[in-house]
């Protein structure tokens, strides 16, 4: 048996009551604004970051002075740490020292001189003693 | 909330403030129409995550296009037009992408408490039949073409009059009635085996 058009309409009308869960639209709005802010920053590039930072700073109220002092201190510290070192005093150039170096007589020659190489002490030529 | 050209747009003040950069005014418009649009998108996509993402995109588009809104139609009609067009585009893309199966679609829509008639709570047999009927109805809805599902959602579920639907879809009332007629015939034939 076919349902009538009215019956189908009544069945479908029950779906009117479908709703997202409680609190859904609070989260939805938060996400919507978050996405929008990110979109704006992406579109505007580095100048957008700067504008955002300055808007945040101007919205701080009285505490902006504390933040400002902190920022200044951090900047000075960073400059101090990152600045290149002052040129140091160069050490004096080494003074050349001139020594006269006399070559020593080779030890081997002396040893040779000390040896008695005369034939009398060596025995006769062609004579061998057994 | 029909769009009567003789009546001033009830959202005129909020729209003007939002156009002048008042984000709270735009928030008020989101809160005013969010639920209706959620129902529209959810019944067309049958997918909660898709509905959420689409709804974010719909309101973002409305927010960016708001400076160009001149009030020829009411804000309500205008934002409905954005929602319907974006949802139809999304459904086309989704169909091309993977041919999403019914199993991937939101199972919670098949267990919708709105369809549970409390007068039948004492009758488990009737209750289970109602659940079965609800499941078949959702399946039948998904088997409709996107154009037919759109008019059924707006007319039968959201209760919009034919003239308003015609304005939103930028078509004639005759076309709306014709689409509804064929959509109902389709739903009747799909549900006939489960109807007593």
CB contact under 8 A, B38 and A20: yes
CB contact under 8 A, B114 and A15: yes
Contact B146, B93 (CB under 8 A): no
Cα–Cα distances in angstroms (integers) from residue B149 to residues B3, B138, B143, B180, B187, in the given order: 22, 11, 9, 9, 10
pLDDT at B178 over 90: yes
pLDDT at B174 over 90: yes
With 0-12 / 13-18 / 19 or more C-beta atoms within 10 angstroms meaning exposed / middle / buried, residue A83 is exposed
pLDDT band, residue B130 (cuts 50/70/90)? confident
DSSP single-letter state for residue A83: S
Res B109: pLDDT: 46
Lowest mean pLDDT among A71-75, A77-81, A96-100: A96-100
In the predicted model, what is the mean pLDDT of chain B? 85
Residue, of A19 and A35, whose pLDDT is higher: A35
* Average of per-residue pLDDT across A102-126: 63
CB contact under 8 A, B30 and A20: no
Interface of A with B in 7-46 (CB under 8 A): 7-9, 11-20, 25, 28-29, 31-33, 35-36, 39
CA distance B33 to A36: 19
Residue, of A99 and A71, whose pLDDT is higher: A71
Phi, psi of B8 (to 5 degrees): -70, 150
pLDDT at B70 over 50: yes
Residue, of A46 and B55, whose pLDDT is higher: B55
pLDDT at B113 over 50: no
Assigned CATH topology for domain B120-196: Arc Repressor Mutant, subunit A (1.10.10)
Q: Where in chain B is the domain with CATH 1.10.1740.10?
A: 8-100
pLDDT band, residue A5 (cuts 50/70/90)? confident
pLDDT over 70 percentage in chain A: 65
CA distance B194 to A32: 43
* Average of per-residue pLDDT across B43-67: 94
In the predicted model, what is the mean pLDDT of chain A? 76
Around Cβ B70, how many Cβ atoms within 10 Å?
Answer: 7
pLDDT band, residue B134 (cuts 50/70/90)? confident
> Under DSSP, is residue B91 helix (H, G, I), strand (E, B) or coil?
helix
- Of B65, B62, B68, B4, the closest CA to residue B33 belongs to B62
* Average of per-residue pLDDT across A32-52: 80
pLDDT band, residue B126 (cuts 50/70/90)? confident
ipTM for the whole complex: 0.80
- Of B112, B118, B132, B115, the closest CA to residue B196 belongs to B132
pLDDT band, residue B89 (cuts 50/70/90)? very high
Res B18: pLDDT: 94
Q: Where in chain B is the domain with CATH 1.10.10.10?
A: 120-196
Phi, psi of A92 (to 5 degrees): -60, 145
The pLDDT tens digits for A86-112 are 666 666 777 777 777 776 666 666 666
Nearest to A18 among B39, B187, B189 (CB): B39
Instruction: Report the residue of chain B nearest A16, measured CA to CA.
Output: B157
Mutate to test the interface with A, among B115, B118, B134, B141 (most CBs of A within 10 A): B115
B8-100: CATH, from 3.20.10.10, 1.20.120.80, 1.10.1740.10, 3.30.565.10: 1.10.1740.10
């Amino acid at each position: 048996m076919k349902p009538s058009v009215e019956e189908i309409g009544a069945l479908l009308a029950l779906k009117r009551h479908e709703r997202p869960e409680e609190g859904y639209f609070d989260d939805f709005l938060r996400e919507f604004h978050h996405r929008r802010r990110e979109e704006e920053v992406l579109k505007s590039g580095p100048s957008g970051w700067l504008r955002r930072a300055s808007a945040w700073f101007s919205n701080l109220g009285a505490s902006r002075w504390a933040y400002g002092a902190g920022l200044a201190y951090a900047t000075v510290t960073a400059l101090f740490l990152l600045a290149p070192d002052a040129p140091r005093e160069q050490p004096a150039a080494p003074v050349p020292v001139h020594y006269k170096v006399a070559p020593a007589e080779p030890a081997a020659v002396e040893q040779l001189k000390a040896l008695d190489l005369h034939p009398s002490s060596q025995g006769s030529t062609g004579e061998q003693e057994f | 909330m029909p769009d009567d050209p003789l009546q001033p747009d009830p959202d005129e003040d909020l729209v003007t403030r939002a156009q002048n950069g008042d984000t709270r005014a735009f928030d008020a418009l989101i809160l005013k129409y969010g639920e209706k649009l959620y129902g529209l998108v959810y019944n067309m996509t049958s997918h909660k995550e898709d509905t959420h993402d689409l709804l974010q995109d719909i309101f973002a588009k409305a927010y960016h296009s708001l400076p160009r809104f001149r009030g020829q139609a009411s804000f309500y009609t205008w934002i409905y037009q954005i929602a319907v067009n974006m949802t139809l585009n999304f459904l086309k893309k989704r169909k091309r992408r993977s041919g999403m199966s019914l199993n991937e679609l939101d199972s919670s829509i098949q267990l919708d408490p709105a369809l549970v008639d409390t007068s039948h709570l004492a009758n488990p047999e009737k209750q289970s039949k109602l659940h079965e009927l609800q499941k078949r109805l959702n399946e039948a809805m998904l088997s409709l073409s996107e154009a037919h599902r759109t008019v059924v959602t707006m007319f039968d579920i959201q209760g919009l009059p034919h003239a308003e639907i015609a304005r939103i879809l930028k078509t004639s009332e005759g076309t709306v009635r014709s689409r509804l007629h064929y959509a109902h015939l389709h739903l009747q034939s799909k549900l006939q085996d489960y109807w007593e």
